Amino acid sequence: MHIKQQIHAHYTDTINSKILMLQQTLADLKESGSNETKSTAGDKHETALAMLQIEQANIRAQLQDVQEQRSVLVNINHDVITAKILPGSYVKTNKGNFYISVALGKINISGETVMAISPQSPLGAKLIGCCIHDTVTINTHSYLIESIE
């Protein structure tokens, strides 16, 4: 498996794990809410229920964000190699290696440190459409594109 496929698989696994964790958290909160409805402690009961509902809403919002990230990641064709940087490109620069996909942080794969960045991020937006040997500058940092996979 090429490094780009390994990177894509790692981030896909990461997203799927986050989704499972958030779904489990929602299920746990729902169970806590149903246990809370059996209580009759007045104002304290109402406050606890309100807090649970707020927490559920926050978890649902996080889950929706992560599901949207998964949707973007699933729609990336990681097998295509082009001369220009597109979503799904693995880009090596003089300042680091980037996987143009979804902002998912930094990982180490096969001895390479890779940062997954969104094409909408400042660096991602500048990199999209560039070719090998092009240079982009962000905040006084120049990135020379060394290779594109």
Query: 51-80: per-residue pLDDT in tens?
Result: 889 999 999 999 999 999 999 999 998 888
With cut-offs at 50, 70 and 90, classify the pLDDT of residue 50: confident
In a domain, 83, yes or no: no
What are the structure tokens assigned to 76, written together? Answer: 């990336």
Provide the number of structural domains found in the chain.
Answer: 2
Nearest-angstrom CA–CA distance, 18 and 10: 12
Among the candidates 74, 100, 122, a domain finishes at: 74
Provide φ and ψ at 12, rounded to 5°.
Answer: -65, -45
- What is the C-alpha separation between 5 and 78, in angstroms, rounded? 6
Q: What is the dihedral of CA 14, 20, 24, 26, to 10 degrees?
A: 90
On whether both 131 and 69 belong to a single domain, the answer is: no
Q: Are residues 69 and 110 in the same domain?
A: no
Q: How far apart are CA 109 and CA 111, in angstroms?
A: 5
For residue 84, being part of any structural domain is answered with no
Same domain, 99 and 142: yes
79 in any annotated domain: no
Range of the domain at 98: 90-148
Confirm whether 62 is domain-assigned: yes
Residue 85 in any domain: the answer is: no
pLDDT tens digit sequence for 111-139:
999 999 999 999 999 999 999 999 999 99
Which positions ≥6 away from 140 have C-beta within 8 Å?
Answer: none
